[in-house]
């Protein structure tokens, strides 16, 4: 297969990592199907891409949309899909006690069930092309920290799915890579802050006060940490799709490496360090 014959589908291509990846692979000569949720997002992406890039209306939580996308991609590629990049995802921050059930369900619908729902119908196309599956995860898929219980659970699930499928699909020549991504400078960061504020405002003030050290730590240590541009992540996605021997796991950005290193510490030491960072000398 020549590069021009290699088709790649990217979910969540409206902004951030997905958009940067779609434009980067399009510029490199790949046949790109860019999954977006709104027509206007597809038009905006198309305005910066070549004529070959094809926006694809794809809400990963909509079964009919997923089935339609699989049928279209299968038809236009003659059943050969070289790459599937599962990038679509949501973030959710806050102590579990103040997060509504509806928000938890929405997160898992996108980050876990949506990823599975998209991957399943495209496996035959990946198998025929002996292609590559790339799942975009997070450092929180390696290390669960306070304030991230729901989000970390979803990203640990992504890690588990990648590890399982890596062996499940190996007999067919399909590789599976997991991208562990640290903090990325995208518009998503503003959405995270807005969501955090909205959830906090809806919480019982007395309960919110109990978790004030978590919010103070986030504002003091996390919010202003330097991130990397989405184009840097897009380069690693391209590497996972092009290198002769793709890695099982890629660490992208300093935050990801820090989470990996912390996860390797003995549990008692690791949790002691985190507790001290959050609460100082306060005893439970």
Query: In this predicted model, what pLDDT tens digit does every residue of 20-49 receive, in sequence order?
Result: 999 999 999 999 999 999 999 999 999 999
Three-state DSSP class for 105? helix
Which pLDDT belongs to residue 224?
Answer: 67
Would you state the pLDDT for residue 14? 95
Number of Cβ within a 10 Å radius of residue 8: 27
Alpha carbon 195 to chain centroid distance?
Answer: 18
DSSP label of 3? G
Longest dimension (CA), the chain: 63
State how far the Cα of 118 lies from the Cα of 265, in Å rounded to an integer. 35
> Residue written as tokens 């209306």?
57
What is the per-residue pLDDT for 64?
97
pLDDT at position 278 is 86
Percent of the chain with pLDDT over 70: 93
> At CB < 8 A and 24+ separation, what contacts does 46-49 make?
48/23, 49/22, 49/23
Residue 271 CA: distances (Å) to CA of 97, 158, 186, 216, 227: 20, 23, 30, 18, 25
Which DSSP state fits 98?
G
pLDDT for 120 equals 98
Which residue has tokens 């391209």? 238
Q: What is the pLDDT of residue 221?
A: 63
Active-site option among 151, 211, 250, 279: 151
Residue 89's Cβ-side half-sphere holds a number of Cα atoms within 13 Å equal to: 24
Residue 81 pLDDT greater than 70, yes or no: yes
CATH number of the domain located at residue range(s) 3-197+227-265 in this protein: 3.40.50.720
In the prediction, which pLDDT does 215 show?
Answer: 83
For residues 235-264, average pLDDT = 94
The whole-chain average pLDDT of the chain stands at: 91
Q: What is the C-alpha to C-alpha distance for residues 22 and 147, in angstroms, rounded to an integer? A: 32
Question: For residues 226 and 152, which has the higher predicted lDDT (pLDDT)?
Answer: 152
Does residue 254 carry a pLDDT above 90? no
Please give the average per-residue pLDDT across 186-196, as a whole number. Answer: 69
Cβ burial, residue 267 (10 Å; 0-12/13-18/19+): exposed
Q: Where are the domains of the chain?
A: 3-197+227-265
Which contiguous run of DSSP H or E holds residue 205? Answer: helix 205-210
Q: Compute the distance between CA of residue 207 and CA of residue 123 in angstroms, rounded to an integer.
A: 46
Residue 211 annotated to the active site = no
Average pLDDT of the segment spanning 197-221: 84
pLDDT of 99: 92
For residue 46, give Cα distances in angstroms to 6, 39, 231: 19, 11, 17
Residues 6+ apart with CB under 8 A from 154: 89, 107, 108, 111, 112
Pair of tokens at residue 216 = 């103070």
Q: What is the pLDDT of residue 41?
A: 96
pLDDT of 84 > 70? The answer is yes
What's the confidence (pLDDT) of residue 195? 76
- Would the pLDDT of 160 be above 80? yes
Query: Is 153 in contact with 114 (CB distance < 8 Å)?
Result: no
pLDDT at 281 over 70: no
Q: What is the pLDDT of residue 176?
A: 98
């Amino acid at each position: 297969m020549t590069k021009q014959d290699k088709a790649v589908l990217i979910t969540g291509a409206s902004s951030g990592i997905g958009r940067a990846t779609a434009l980067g692979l399009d510029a490199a000569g790949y046949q790109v199907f860019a999954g977006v949720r709104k027509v206007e997002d597809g038009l905006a992406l198309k305005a910066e891409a070549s004529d070959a890039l094809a926006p694809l209306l794809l809400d990963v939580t909509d079964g009919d949309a997923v089935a339609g996308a699989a049928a279209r991609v299968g038809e236009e590629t003659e059943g050969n899909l070289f790459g599937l990049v599962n990038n679509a995802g949501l973030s959710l921050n806050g102590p579990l006690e103040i997060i509504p059930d509806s928000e938890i369900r929405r997160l898992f619908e996108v980050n876990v069930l949506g990823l599975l729902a998209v991957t399943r119908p495209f496996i035959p196309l990946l198998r025929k092309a002996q292609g590559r599956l790339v799942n975009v995860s997070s450092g929180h898929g390696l290390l669960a920290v306070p304030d991230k219980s729901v989000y970390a659970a979803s990203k640990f699930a992504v890690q588990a799915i990648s590890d399982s499928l890596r062996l499940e699909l190996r007999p067919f020549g399909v590789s599976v890579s997991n991208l562990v991504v640290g903090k990325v400078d995208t518009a998503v960061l503003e959405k995270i802050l807005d969501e955090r504020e909205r959830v906090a405002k809806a919480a019982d003030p007395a309960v919110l006060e109990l978790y004030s050290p978590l919010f103070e730590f986030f504002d003091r240590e996390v919010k202003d940490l330097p991130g990397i541009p989405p184009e840097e992540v897009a380069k690693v996605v391209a590497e996972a799709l092009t290198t002769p021997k793709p890695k099982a796991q890629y660490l992208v950005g300093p935050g990801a490496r820090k989470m990996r290193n912390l996860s390797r510490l003995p549990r008692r030491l690791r949790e002691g360090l985190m507790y001290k960072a959050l609460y100082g000398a306060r005893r439970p």
